Amino acid sequence: MVTGQGVVTPLGTGVDKFWAALKSGACGIREVQNFDVEDLYITIAGEVPDFDPRERDLSRQLILADKYSQYAGCAAKEAMTQSQLEMPLKDDDSYRAACVIGSGVGGITTLETSYKMLFKENKRATHPLTLLKAIGSSASAHVSIEYGIKGPTFGVVSACSTAAHSIGLVYRMIREGGVDLGLAGASEASLNWGTTRAWQAMRVLSPDGLFPFSKQRNGTVLAEGSGILMLEEYEHAKARGALILAELMGYGTTSDAADMVNPSIEGASTAMQMALDDSGLAASDIDYVNAHGTATAVNDINETRSIKRVFGGHANDLSISSTKSMHGHCLGAGGGIEAVATIKAIGENYVPPTMGLHEPDPECDLDYTPNAGKEREVNYAMSNSFAFGGLNAVLVFGPPPA
């Protein structure tokens, strides 16, 4: 069961603010403000606005941490508060809780700053906390310390599928009886000059905006943030009278084992089918798909073909959208942020839009909810995450049990 959720996004911090922005079709992609864009031809990104860790009531340890850990701490705090669990956990309960919070690249801005100090400014040393700030398990460790979580605690790394894999792992831990509850998701704060330069060299970034499934699409847009869920075993949640937001019903994961950049139809469609099989639902039961939808040439066509392979004729009855069109590609955190959007779609029977979709690609011919969201009954929904390296993770959500 999902009993809490939290986000930090380019559309704002907090689930209510984020969801209101999605419904209104707001755009969090703007000209870069937080780092020097000298020598870059990509000058837009999805930066988190107005985030001061000192104003978020974070611990001193988190205030001293890398921004990716701060984002995770803020999203986890919102999820914990909504769950109304008593924290910190005590005694044996602390070992029955998990904290799996991943990141695609961890504290890469800390590393960039440190290398600049050493090799450009010729300083003799870096900040004494450089190592602790940079490592990819820092966010999960910080959050476990905050809430006394002593069970499985680690970070997952699978590029843009990181959050979905993290959520899937905790889901399986709970289902197999290893833990009763757990925080799961990912965080990313990799917007800096060096990262943009590296992505720019791959020729997959757009200088204009992120326009999924559109004929005019010309690349994705880097973004940052965090999305974290509190997952809980049903009887555990029921016994304490928790408000259940949704049920995580299925998880599927595959590897294309084919190419580092070009996604395959087989890998994505198999992961989707596995998630459906795991949920016990038929393809015809799904009402909404939150697509990976990166606005790269190959991904959008292959995702469309994968959806058609799995859903058959029902593909034409699906509502689909890529919320990346509004918040950008949050990399490892994307699947967590998009899981929250998927859960809200179920809770409010509302499908958020795909913005900027004025002229669809003829090969992307499904209902992508162009430019305006819509009300429709959403009982069951799927969230797709497909990463570089062909690493696929798919989640299926449903309403709270009756």
Catalytic residue among 142, 165, 236, 329: 329
Residue type, 237: A
Structure token digits, residue 197: 């330069």
d(CA 366, CA 177): 40
Token look-up 């044996």 returns 92
- Which among 142, 236, 292, 327 is annotated as catalytic? 292
Residue 292 appears among annotated catalytic residues = yes
Q: Which CATH number fits domain 2-239: 3.50.50.60, 3.40.47.10, 3.40.50.2030, 3.20.190.10?
A: 3.40.47.10
pTM summary value: 0.97
Q: For residue 122, what are its two tokens?
A: 């010729």
329 is known as an active-site residue: yes
Per-residue pLDDT of the chain (402 residues; tens, 9 = 90+): 999 999 999 999 999 999 999 999 999 999 999 999 999 999 999 999 999 999 999 999 999 999 999 999 999 999 999 999 988 888 889 999 999 999 999 999 999 999 999 999 999 999 999 999 999 999 999 999 999 999 999 999 999 999 999 999 999 999 999 999 999 999 999 999 999 999 999 999 999 999 999 999 999 999 999 999 999 999 999 999 999 999 999 999 999 999 999 999 999 999 999 999 999 999 999 999 999 999 999 999 999 999 999 999 999 999 999 999 999 999 999 999 999 999 999 999 999 999 999 999 999 999 999 999 999 999 999 999 999 999 999 999 999 998
The answer to whether 203 and 197 have CB atoms below 8 angstroms apart is no
Query: Domain 252-398 is classified in which CATH homologous superfamily?
Result: Thiolase/Chalcone synthase (3.40.47.10)
**Catalytic site residue from 27, 74, 99, 160:** 160
> Do 2-239 and 252-398 fold alike per CATH?
yes
The CA-atom distances, in angstroms, between 12 and each of 2, 162, 327 are 22, 21, 9
Count CA atoms closer than 13 A to 326's CA, side-chain side.
28
- In the residue annotation, 160 being an active-site residue is answered as yes
Domain ranges of the chain: 2-239, 252-398
Using CB atoms within 10 A of its CB, is residue 54 exposed (0-12), middle (13-18) or buried (19+)? Answer: exposed
